[in-house]
Amino acid sequence: MVRYIHQLFGAFHVLCRCCCMFAVTTIITGVFVAETNGIAASDDELAITKKQRAKEACCKKMTQIFHELDVSQDGFVSWEEFQDLTSDGLLNTWLATLEVDTHDLTQLFQVCAEERNRFNIDDFVASLSRVKGPAKSVDMLHVIAVIGRLEKKLDMMSMGTKNIGEMTLYF
């Protein structure tokens, strides 16, 4: 058979077999990796560990942001210190990486400081955790329920009117 077939065909045959074996082993490796990732994704302990690490990293970033804002180093951030955030692009970007909307910083300060004119690190971390990310479905349902109750109260109040310009309130 060697007399009738050229030697280059033998080299071509060996090359084809090598390519086919490489393709088969790559496919088998891909299947094993996919199965391993699927099993790892369904592992509850691993998922909990990943969530805890992400939460710790987020708290660490929030602590760093707080220390950047606390220029006076007294453990509290006042409105004057917080206003520096409006001009600091790096801090805005840092908050954006934490999924915190920085478009209305006045409201962000009010959420953090509540009734006071300053906030500490615990208030800051707790407040940013609440405003982080998009609104949740539960939050939206709560807002819709409150609006529905307000509409009912307004309807009841408007039924108690004697004339169009005059309203009787029931307490």
The answer to whether residues 125 and 63 touch, using CB atoms and an 8 Å cutoff, is yes
CA angle 135-138-139, nearest 5°? Answer: 50
Which carries the bigger pLDDT value, residue 56 or residue 110?
A: 56
The answer to whether residues 69 and 91 touch, using CB atoms and an 8 Å cutoff, is yes
The answer to whether residues 102 and 92 touch, using CB atoms and an 8 Å cutoff, is yes
What are the tens digits of pLDDT across the range 20-67?
999 999 999 999 999 988 887 777 888 888 889 988 888 888 888 888
Tell me what the pLDDT averaged over the chain comes to.
80
Within 10 angstroms of residue 58's Cβ, the number of other Cβ atoms is: 17
What are residue 119's DSSP bridge partners? 77
Per-residue confidence at 161, pLDDT binned at 50, 70, 90? Answer: low
pTM, rounded to two decimals: 0.52
pLDDT number for residue 23: 96
pLDDT number for residue 171: 47
What are the tens digits of pLDDT across the range 11-32?
888 999 999 999 999 999 999 9
The residue type found at 109 is: F
Q: Which residue has the tokens 């004057």?
A: 80
Q: What is the DSSP letter of 43?
A: -
- 74/81 Cα distance (integer angstroms): 11
> Is domain 59-131 given the CATH code 3.30.70.141 in the classification?
no
